[in-house]
Amino acid sequence: MPRDSRAYTGGHFELQLDGHGTTSYLKSVDGGHVKINPVDEPIGPHSTRVKHSSTTDVEPFTIECGMSGSYEVLRLIERSWKSKFKAFNGAITHADFNLRSVFEHQFFEALLTETTFPTLDGGSKDAAYLKFKIQPQRVKMRYDTGGKRLQPQQMSAKQKQWVASRFYFTIDGVDDMHYTNKLESFTIKQGTKKLSTGEARMGEIEPTKLEFPNLSGTISLARAGGLMRWYEETVQDGRRDDKAQKTGAIEYLGPDDKTLFAIHLYEVGLISAQIGASSANQDGMKRVKFELYVGRMELDPTKPPGMA
């Protein structure tokens, strides 16, 4: 069987936002397809029914990317969390075995709807990836045989800057929280509402409620003195004045301990702090699992060298 050098290859694709090359490494891309909403209507007094199409829905894109070249994604997240909504356009280009463009999935008037940050674990050796969803108002598909050549989709040295074990977590006024060894994955959600008017088959997308999640993590019991004092004051004794809520930050670090980007936390309160289960002849380190609520988050897209 002859080989077709233009055959589609599932692992070669590239994302652009408003004309900017966004990342040189995408781990996965899914969605962005159009679906019709059928209508089933009766005809007069008869049992016959007629089906026809009415409005359409566009599935959100789900994208998972590395840190290399993702500065435009971070800026998009920053604006969204500050309610500075601005619909954006973009495209996902799929390539053949030779990295030549063969198919382009364009999207228009899109909004960011979800951002998921990975689990951080001081003992992990894995690379970290940012996962996000974008909801377009409309999409267009275009075949582009023999098109431009994409950048190599390899795990570059820049991508290896972001690993799950390199982070720094602090809560202002709570001692030793930077010894936190693990923070669970969390997702920020931006609600949207579809507005259909007149004869338009694809309605307009408008933003609604922005939801910030709780944060969960663990810290060594030997380093949890400040956390347990905060627990005693606010959870056990019920202190609810302004000082009961804190500010804090999650800094995502490179191998040189320089900040790649940071998430600032506001109106942080303690929900629970629980000492892990104990058993005889236990060799593992005793840890405290905590859960926090967060009223607001702000992303600081620090732009270190090598982040395009």
Phi, psi of 55 (to 5 degrees): -85, 170
Q: Which helix (H) or strand (E) holds 260?
A: strand 259-275
Both tokens of residue 186? 């969390």
3-state secondary structure of 196: coil
The per-residue pLDDT for 146 is 62
CA 183 to chain centre: 15
Q: What is the pLDDT of residues 132-182, one digit of tens each?
A: 999 999 999 888 766 677 665 444 555 556 889 999 999 999 999 999 999
Q: How far apart are CA 174 and CA 223, in angstroms?
A: 11
What is the reported pLDDT for 134?
A: 94
Number of domain units in the chain: 1
Q: Is residue 179 part of a domain?
A: yes
For tokens 């905590």, name the residue.
290
Place of tokens 């290399």: 68
Is position 305 within any domain?
no
β-partners of residue 133 are 62, 114
Domain membership of residue 247 (yes or no) is yes
In a domain, 176, yes or no: yes
How do residues 239-289 score in pLDDT, each as one tens digit? Answer: 877 778 999 999 998 888 888 899 999 999 999 999 977 665 666 789 999
Any domain includes 307: no
φ and ψ at 141, to 5 degrees? -110, 135
User: For residue 140, how far is the Cα from the chain centroid?
Assistant: 24
Q: Does 80 fall in a domain?
A: yes
Evaluate whether residue 2 is within a structural domain.
Answer: no
**Predicted confidence (pLDDT) at residue 112 exceeds the cutoff of 90:** yes
Domain extent, residue 19, equals 8-39+47-300
SS3 call for 99: coil
Per DSSP, the three-state class of 13 is strand
